[in-house]
Structure 1
Amino acid sequence: MKVFSWVNIVALTGLVAVQAQAADLTISCGAVGAELQLCKEGVAIWEKQTGHTVNVISTPNSSTERLSLYQQILNAQSSDIDVMQIDVVWPGMLASHLADLHQYLPEDATQGQFKALIDNNTIDGRLVAMPWFTDAGVLYYRKDLLEQYDKPVPETWQQLTDTATTIQQGERKAGHDRMWGYVFQGRAYEGLTCNALEWIDSYPNGGTIVNSQGDITIDNPDAAEALKLASSWIGTISPRGVLNYTEEEARGVFQSGDAVFMRNWPYAWALAQSDQSDIKDKVGVAILPKGGENGQHVATLGGWNLAVSKYSQHPQLAAELVAYLTGPKEQKRRAIEASYNPTIESLYKDQQVLAAVPFFGTLYKTFTSGVPRPSAVTGDNYSRVSNAFFNTVHSVLAGSVEPEQGLSNLEGELKRIKRRHW
């Protein structure tokens, strides 16, 4: 597994603990886009207000690698990290290692937060994390190119395929030989689970891999149709290298002006609109396409939370840091400066926020009604389910297996996981 060097430091030498002796707390933050810089800035404000010091450590961009890292640290009952940034699908998996924030925060700490996210983070009556920012997949597009080629924003995945093909061919004939039609997160990791769930569930009967009753539903004709279309993109409107893209690789291609469409999270907006971007003021954001005229627009629910390790030596102080970073003032700053979706409902009506990120208003329902990954129903076994799913999808995209056979094999594997583990 490729992980940052500090992972081995944590696991093998405890150097992080030594570094942290000079600080009151240690927090681990993501480094996708502007995440790490924003985290450092928010922490610095809290340090100035309280007089405490915080050691900020970055984690791998891949959420799959980040989960493995956290599991190593928590299973060792290490006190090296006080506050952890955790994915929306992890509370159930990590709950036994996380502090109950109800014990450290005032009763009104969750007031104004989206109830669904608080419910998601409450395991057996214990609030194991506070929502920090929410997410849902969106479609980025080059509005200048769609206008030039007289094409509407695609409503279906087939329309996206056709429009991407037309514009890619036209741009290459005009001398832009690096232009691609569509980039997304195609690496075999959690990001591909998010993308592929959007493809499959956007078809009328594609389903959500495992339904809310725990029934395995993935082996069906609509799911196969979705993956068949997606596999046709590889090497045509999407580079073969997309099979190793995470969020940042996709953003790099799109932001350099070398793609017509991109699927990504809202954080990419502020970066695409920055002065350093080659496509500033040329970008539009829309809801993701649906699977045919009878399908539905689907966006996978994402988002990240802040949790306090049960093994922290300073749980009260750590909880106070979490409360500040997830509070309205800090969430508003992050929304305006870097287009991170707030988890506080009132901020979606804040005029300063809407001026900075207009699609927070137009796509509000997308962010509040995203399709969840089947983590609640599969519990501790979600990582096994997701790994089996994204590895199968990756094999289909790579051309190693046909969609129907891949989904049949996947259904059998998920049934084995269910018999043994859930």
Structure 2
Amino acid sequence: MRRTITAGAVTCLALAALTACGGSGGDSGKEKAPSGALDGRGPVTFVTGKDRSGNLQKQIDGWNSAHPKEQVRVVELPDEPNDQRQQMIQNAQTKSDAYGVLNLDVVWTAEFAANRWLTPLPKDQIDLSKMLPATVTTGEYRDKLYAVPSTSDAGMLYYRKDLLDKAGISAPPKTYAEMWADCDKVKALPEGKGVDCYFTEVNKTESLTISAVEAVSSQGGSLLDASGKPTVTTPQVKAGIQFLADARKAHMPKEAVTLDTEGGRRYFQGGKLLFQRQWPYQYALADKADGSSKVAGKFAVAPLPGPNGPGVANLGGHNLAISAFAKNKATAFDFIKYLTGEQAQRANLLATSQAPTVASLYDDPALTKRFPYLPVLKQAIAGAKPRPVVVKYGDVTAAIQGAVYDAVNGRTTVDQAVTDLQGKLTTLTAAQ
């Protein structure tokens, strides 16, 4: 999901709009020292990526109706996570109070907390025991809570069940070899003509880091070890990157390097893919019976395949945090508790099919009937692996994207790519 407007330009526009409208009061452009106290009540801005469902605004309207003196206003950033992160960083570096509650990708916690751009949150004032344990850890840094899990995420395999049934295939593939064999069988059918085999994102964005982590983790490897040291030159990492390179060459559509998350969704919904690695949010959109999807009622989901059995998903999702420079932090914290509560998460799941963080929702009979993938997703989240948890995350993910992109597109060998990446990550993680 991309936008051509530069991050700096959008930031300036957003700040200007906040100042003109009053924002949280005062001059938003003035620098101020961060405050760790959760005090102050009044208007709050909620900074997030694009809401394509319309559900977020409904939830904001619900809050605003009940809190006329503590109104929340949404500031939407571009679709691309890299652009969102950059704009939030620019705002924090100017110590502006224009941004209040931040909707953070789970991998940004360490970077934002280490730079003191976030306000620590009291664990005893929010019930984290109801949430999936894996999601809670993404909001912590050095044993302190800096963000509350709002949505989780894990990659799943979307597949055309109708085409597998037509080819006499009774179950989704558990291994790469099974997936390629299934593709051959479907392509031999008249209905399989014009349908590409497989897609996971290999364009040079954050999504490529995610694809790399999943491919490497499925091989039993890791880009960094438990102590944070790079382990890129291992056979497992090489095998993971080689899988992406081979899949890109032999099994993906020609447009693969230009397709982002939304592009992949449209490709699948257009009936052009047999197998796709994708997030849960796609389920509700692809299953719409309004004519926008050609595969409604024709697909299902399964765990990601791996080299010798089920693969490993990347742990994604978003957490809500409070800018260290925000005003009205007491209101901001109450709003976070409202938006991450069970009722709000249930409504969000029903409207968007995004993964909740409240564990009980995955076992609710009414919800599992509506979203049959919930048991698969819960299992995927439990076994998912995160992207590198590092302070210099922006530099680390850029290095991963550059090396893997070159290997996937044949600009360099896999061996050379991992050697170069090992050197870059060693430098970037040395001072953690």
Alpha-carbon displacement from aligned partner over 1:64-120 (angstroms, at most 9, x marks no partner): 221111111111111111111101111111111112232xx8624434123343333
Partner of 1:86: 104
For residue 80 of structure 1, give the secondary structure of its aligned residue in structure 2: coil
The CA distance in 1 between the partners of 2:14 and 2:201, in whole Å, is 34
The CA distance in 1 between the partners of 2:242 and 2:126, in whole Å, is 49
Is 19-28 or 245-254 further displaced after alignment? 19-28
1:200 aligns with 2:211: no
Shift of 1:354: 1.4
Partner of 2:175: 156
The CA distance in 2 between the partners of 1:3 and 1:129, in whole Å, is 30
1:277 aligns with 2:296: no
1:324 aligns with 2:331: no
> Equivalences for 1:238-317 in 2 at 5 Å?
238-275=252-289, 276-292=292-308, 297-317=311-331
Paired AA for residue 48 in structure 1: S
Match of 1:185 among 185, 193, 201: 201
Residues 133 and 334 (structure 1 numbering): CA distance in 2 closer, same or farther, change over 3 Å? Answer: same
Match of 2:421 among 405, 410, 413: 410
TM-score (norm 1): 0.89
Shift of 1:324: 0.6
Match of 1:372 among 376, 381, 386: 386
For residue 56 of structure 1, give the secondary structure of its aligned residue in structure 2: strand
The CA distance in 1 between the partners of 2:51 and 2:257, in whole Å, is 19
Paired AA for residue 22 in structure 2: Q
Residues 144 and 309 (structure 1 numbering): CA distance in 2 closer, same or farther, change over 3 Å? Answer: same
Partner of 1:147: 165
Is contact 2:157-2:278 (8 Å) kept?
Answer: yes
Paired AA for residue 114 in structure 1: L
Is 114-123 or 246-255 further displaced after alignment? 114-123
For residue 355 of structure 1, give the secondary structure of its aligned residue in structure 2: helix
The CA distance in 2 between the partners of 1:175 and 1:349, in whole Å, is 36
CA RMSD of aligned residues (A): 2.3
> Equivalences for 1:159-178 in 2 at 5 Å?
159-167=178-186, 169-170=187-188, 176-177=193-194
For residue 101 of structure 1, give the secondary structure of its aligned residue in structure 2: coil
Residues 26 and 363 (structure 1 numbering): CA distance in 2 closer, same or farther, change over 3 Å? Answer: closer
For residue 353 of structure 1, give the secondary structure of its aligned residue in structure 2: helix
The CA distance in 2 between the partners of 1:405 and 1:229, in whole Å, is 16
The CA distance in 2 between the partners of 1:211 and 1:13, in whole Å, is 39
The CA distance in 1 between the partners of 2:23 and 2:314, in whole Å, is 40
Shift of 1:271: 0.8
Partner of 2:404: 393
Partner of 2:55: 38
For residue 306 of structure 1, give the secondary structure of its aligned residue in structure 2: strand
Is contact 2:105-2:319 (8 Å) kept?
Answer: yes
Consecutive unaligned residues of structure 1, counting only runs of 5 or more, are none
Alpha-carbon displacement from aligned partner over 1:207-265 (angstroms, at most 9, x marks no partner): 11001122322212333233223222335421232112221111010011111111111
Partner of 1:50: 67
Partner of 1:344: 358
Paired AA for residue 117 in structure 2: H
Paired AA for residue 200 in structure 2: F
The CA distance in 2 between the partners of 1:56 and 1:12, in whole Å, is 14
The CA distance in 1 between the partners of 2:142 and 2:251, in whole Å, is 46
- Counting matched residue pairs gives 407
The structure richer in helix per residue is: 1
Shift of 1:357: 1.1
Residues 344 and 12 (structure 1 numbering): CA distance in 2 closer, same or farther, change over 3 Å? Answer: closer
Paired AA for residue 49 in structure 1: A
- Residue identity over aligned pairs, in percent, reads 25
The CA distance in 1 between the partners of 2:103 and 2:20, in whole Å, is 19
Shift of 1:297: 2.1
Is contact 2:23-2:45 (8 Å) kept?
Answer: no
Shift of 1:302: 0.6
Residues 20 and 330 (structure 1 numbering): CA distance in 2 closer, same or farther, change over 3 Å? Answer: farther
Consecutive unaligned residues of structure 2, counting only runs of 5 or more, are 25-42
